[in-house]
Structure 1
């Protein structure tokens, strides 16, 4: 240890012209009893201590005299790199430390003592750790036979703790230790056999001398049973080596093992099939012979020296073989590479099989996609009918989009079936087992929309549930969330939606803790979002975040060839629902195909249900159609009854027809409420009553 390790850097310094009284104040302020005196170049010229000041006080001398008149001028100085041992015998209490004649620190007696005790404690701790880490039993006694040291191995062998043994006579703990004889004779005794707790030990006992005085003795015991265990372990290693040989030889791949310098120690028979070398001819040779053959790469030759990581490479031999080799280092207890195990595999045939498998996998995925598309186009479901080229093209895209998790923006006029397309994407995705949550952004009052989407904590606002509520994003975790009428979302919520799409986290109203959600987002709208972006009604960044994959659902007027299929489909469903057996005449269907259908598929479905329910006969004819189709009814006679019925039922029938017509002509709940001059909540409530909410797409 050196002076620089224990010195106090930047010590308090005094100047020779400073009055002694000022120096005394410096001592009091800094709590010191001495300080070096330096000149203007910080060179040590003296040392002033508390003793100098006390001497002046006791002699009643003038305290205003300069420090230079009372200081000690002969000062022992040290250098930062000096060893502490050079100063242990000095009687000086303070040693200024200088570098190139300039003071950089000071060492006091307290520093020396602290360094000494630190060194003593460290050495004592290290010695104790070494003794306890020793596998052999160690017991030491003083000249009276009192146990002064016992290690952990001795505690285990004697079944006694150090606290119980230390300070007791050795005869009380180990009567047959032999240490008392060593103390008596002062001679070493080696290879003495003793028994402790039914275990045999070999004991070596040595006296401890301090000069000519015997001050104790120490015994070191080796458990003989461990030697037997070593013998058994050697036999186990032998058996293990035989098993290892069998494993190496049974490998279909070529295996060989080298030392860290690349010399081959062992090789199996499979290596000959791949390389052409007999294993016996390879043992003892350097791996360079395989490098020249093209079996392994050049970096394999220096693997044990240059790296401690496994190395893998593909080689092509001059004969055209594709060889995959892997070298894996084996380390000793010190982390040094001792062996390298190489695995050599002929990849030629495997590569051909892999190529065939990849082709088969690609064909399988292609056929699976085609089958799903065909199923949707021709088999259909209880809701999906495809009968036009435009819809077939759309369905093909829907199936492909279903295989990924990208965000999809579904556009199209009101009533074209955007919600059905979204549900089809979900049903053909990996999330099909998860929830499919549908939210109509235009059907929820604006002041409730945020809490419905993101949820809220208990007490977030007046009327909130005591336990809080999860929002639609959390409900859709692991599945798909369809945000219909996304163009109706207020600007302040557009910002929050964008943040959710970017971070995949939602924060409930009234909370500061975000919740991680894993939901695929599908959005739908019948509005022109690009135009809304230009008019600052819709955020541009949110538009591009939603419009990753755009899907356009064509209106019914652009796929009129589907009208007969759709009519038959709806007739079947409604007949089953009301246990009827009605149908449309071919002439009536022809009339329907000439109509432009501003309300699209939803308008067609509602019309079919109305005509089947209100028509008195089993066949819906042309004259049963409403006036706009050229039928025989008038605007005031759309509601038909076959007799007297309760007024409430008649009112509900009229309400339902008005709402159906309004939903076919207007885009949002707020627009419908404005047209009918009622609150939006009234529209939502009555639409739910008549089962019209699910048709809002």
Structure 2
């Protein structure tokens, strides 16, 4: 029941009296303000009593002076607190009611004031109550103890098609006999969740008795459409299924999952979390994340960090059972930007660390075994073009494998055709720079006027015809890799000075440029010339020689490693058979002749001879008779080229052209000498050699 307090109707602007005032003064106040009573207060504002017109009449009847102070005439039993109920105050016989808050005077009310305020208050409450009842979606009907309808909300009006005015005061059983509200009045018991058919629609009805002072004064029924309940039930079922699915997903995760609300209170965990941390999930739900730290379940709370930083955080944790974990916490924000969930993923990396250690051990063993294999000369990665059988070549390859691991400048010397370029390539492919570029430059094959710009590059405007964007030189192209300067003995003296500066400072300056560029390339050099003799004759700078010759590597000529000849012959025959789709073989007699020959052109001479024999000889078995005269054969080298069958004329011309160029490269030291002997431009020699893959280093 709603209770009205005195404070709800206080005006807080009353007329007050003091004990020192005379009866005459008070009478004037009553007349001026049209009141017949007022409270009397002391100097502290506390009420001490009430003075009314009746006290004035009493004073006159006793013949007392109107100058008498009112202190002795005050009614003192009038203290009513503002927290008192209006109904209780109205039961008093007095017509005026001073109100206090504590001991202090607050207001003054009459019975009429109180009755009017009480009536207005209850009208407001009644209106509010009606508004609430009518705003409810469910149907509400109430009756008094005789079964007459008192409440019939708008939802009921809409459904039944009757207004409150039409049904109010009528017997419920006459209008709606199957509702059964009278049974509730008679039994006084609550009847919940009954299914009832009304206007061809099913409702769930809940009925309650209305009691006042332990007496049943009526009953109320609340109707809810069954279809709405079914919809809600379906939604609840869907939510339940989603929850089960969500739980199944969480539990199936191999990583531990730990979910808290925005205050760090544990909401969910999964079995993986229990496995990783050794904690019982049932003991964690509803507890604060800091409890896990205090109990030593984990060494540090990623959830706490997420709540502080409001962003994703990843840390390393150690659990109470000794596991090392990688914990990642992710904040989930609501529509107002507040963190309302923190989802933590816990991954056990203990086994990962063990696997990492085992991998490091395996990698160490692999490197160890590779070094052992290299030292034994069994396999050389990147040296598939190399044939190594002789003791000298095995020793050389062992040295190459060791030098490949360092970054020293190396000078590779040896006669023409011994395979200096292959040695340089093997050094690169077995070095830490193997993923970088391997740039080969034949210093004798590039015209002298172009060599500087080819090596160092140039800027726009450096010379007539220079590209607008400039051009990077070989040193820049070799960044991160290896630069092999073959035929270094043919480098002009003016460029030798610049090369020395590059080796000392590891910087270059483009032609026409000013800004030095840092280079990061390993420098290898090769030559078939005697650089010491060239130094003595002032044809090669001594300081450059010693700068290049940090680690000398000499490739022995073929005559000093004849044990390699049978394997080389087999290799070349197989290579050219595949290239020309033939099936040629070499007789043992030819191998013996090869072993007795000195091979001034070295491996390159042997390769060229094998190709010539495979292409020219009409028979599949190559014998002594097929060899040139200098090797004991019967076919003069001056005889016309013979072929084993018809071939396109263009191919035949190219074959002869290639042989002529190979001979020129074998007999001449520089491109300029070759051009003079063959009566063509030096640029033609360079272009044709590039076309056929001819190089003095091979």
The TM tier, using the shorter chain, reads 0.3 to 0.5
- TM-score by length of structure 1 reads 0.47
For the pair shown, the structure with the greater C-alpha radius of gyration is 2
